[in-house]
Amino acid sequence: MREAFGQTFDTPAGYLNTASIGVPPTAVADAVSAAVERWRGGVDVPPGFDVDVAAARAAFAALVGTDAAHVAIGASAAQLVPSPPRPCPTDRVAGPAGKYTSTTFPFAAQAHRGIKITEVPLAEIPDAMRDHDVLTASVVQSSDGALLDLAAVRRNSEGVTVVLDVTQALGWLPLSDLGWADYVIGASYKWLMAPRGAAWMAVHPDVLDRSRPINANWYAGEDPWQTVYGLPLRLAGDARRLDLSPTWFAQVGAAVALPWLAALDMEAVRRHNVGLANDFLARLGLPPGDSAIVSVDADPERLAAAGVRHSLRAGRVRLSFALSNTPDDVDLVGQALIR
Which residue segment(s) compose the domain that 74 sits in? 46-262
Poorest-confidence range of 103-117, 204-218, 244-258? 103-117
**CATH no. for residue 317?**
3.90.1150.10
Q: How many CA atoms lie within 13 A of 92 on its CB side?
A: 10
State residue 86's pLDDT score: 59
* Residue 215 and residue 93 share a domain: yes
Rounded mean pLDDT of the chain?
94
Mean pLDDT of 146-169: 97
* Residue 104 pLDDT > 70: yes
Do residue 74 and residue 196 come from a single domain?
yes
Task: Report the pLDDT averaged over residues 288-305.
Answer: 93
Q: How many CB atoms lie within 10 A of CB 133?
A: 16
- Find how far residue 42's CA is from the centre of its chain: 32
User: Does a structural domain hold residue 41?
Assistant: no
**Could you tell me which residues are beta bridge partners of residue 4?**
7
pTM for the complete prediction?
Answer: 0.96
- Which of the listed residues 262, 295, 329 is the one where a domain comes to its end? 262
The last residue of one of the domains, among 206, 228, 262, is 262
- How many CB atoms sit inside 10 A of residue 144's CB? 18
SS3 125: helix
254 in the same domain as 116: yes
Residues 101 and 209 in one domain: yes
> Are residues 320 and 334 located together in one domain of the fold?
yes
Identify the pLDDT of residue 339: 61
Judged against a pLDDT cut of 90, whether residue 247 lies above it is answered with: yes
